[in-house]
């Protein structure tokens, strides 16, 4: 027996020309999942023109963060102790099932340069230019300064 409904006081059979009528009942905002923000690293590092990461690793193959595929972006708060141009580069790569990089090197995902003032906090969002989840298994947060050196203090958070 076909499915039907009343249309203009007549029984009408459901078809592509006569689909079931639908009424929107609840127009409240649909709840969405809150993004979780995890604190990943807190510390300080002396920076200069040397290629180093937030953990003071100068080996360019050493990751700053591992097992981090769930993150959409990173939020970095830095406190600069002096005026300079600080450059932050987020690099990512994939690993095999045992955590070994698939190949040497990194994909540059984001680069941000900040003209810092002395004794000032800055907030930097490191994310892919398309806004999609980063998708890497390992990341390196490279930090350099154009000239001279200074100590910076940081708090790195990851948003899922």
Write out the residue range of the structural domain in which residue 51 sits. 38-159
Residue 10 lies in a domain: no
The pLDDT tens digits of the residues spanning 10-47 come to 888 888 777 776 666 666 665 555 668 999 999 999 99
Q: What is the DSSP string of 60-119?
A: TT--SEES-TT-SEEEEEEEESS-EEEEEEEEEE-B-TTS-BSSSS-EEEEEEEEEE-TT
Residue 67 lies in a domain: yes
Global pTM?
A: 0.75
Query: Which whole number is the average pLDDT over 137-154?
Result: 94
Q: Are 45 and 56 in contact (CB under 8 A)?
A: yes
Rounded distance, CA 64 to CA 142, Å? Answer: 9
Task: Report pLDDT for 75.
Answer: 96
Residue 133 lies in a domain: yes
Q: Are 72 and 133 in contact (CB under 8 A)?
A: yes
**Which CATH number goes with the domain that contains 124?**
2.60.120
Residue 23 lies in a domain: no
Residue 43 lies in a domain: yes
Rounded distance, CA 30 to CA 44, Å? Answer: 41
Residue 13 lies in a domain: no
Rounded distance, CA 121 to CA 118, Å? Answer: 9
Residue 24 lies in a domain: no
Residue 51 lies in a domain: yes
Q: How many structural domains is the chain composed of?
A: 1
């Amino acid at each position: 027996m076909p499915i039907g409904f009343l249309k203009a006081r007549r029984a009408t059979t459901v078809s592509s020309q006569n689909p079931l009528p639908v009424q929107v009942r609840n127009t409240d905002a649909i709840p969405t999942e809150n993004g979780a923000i995890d604190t990943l690293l807190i510390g300080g590092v002396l920076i200069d023109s040397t290629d180093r990461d937030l953990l003071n690793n100068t080996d360019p193959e050493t990751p700053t963060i591992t097992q981090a595929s769930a993150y959409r972006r990173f939020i970095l708060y830095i406190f600069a102790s002096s005026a300079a141009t600080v450059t932050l580069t987020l690099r990512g790569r994939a690993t095999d099932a045992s955590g070994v990089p698939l190949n040497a090197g990194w994909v540059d995902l984001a680069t941000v340069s900040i003209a810092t003032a002395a004794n000032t906090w800055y907030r930097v969002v490191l994310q892919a230019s398309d806004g999609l989840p980063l998708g890497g298994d390992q990341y390196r947060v490279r930090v350099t300064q154009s000239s001279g050196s200074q100590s910076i203090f940081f708090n790195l958070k990851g948003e899922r």
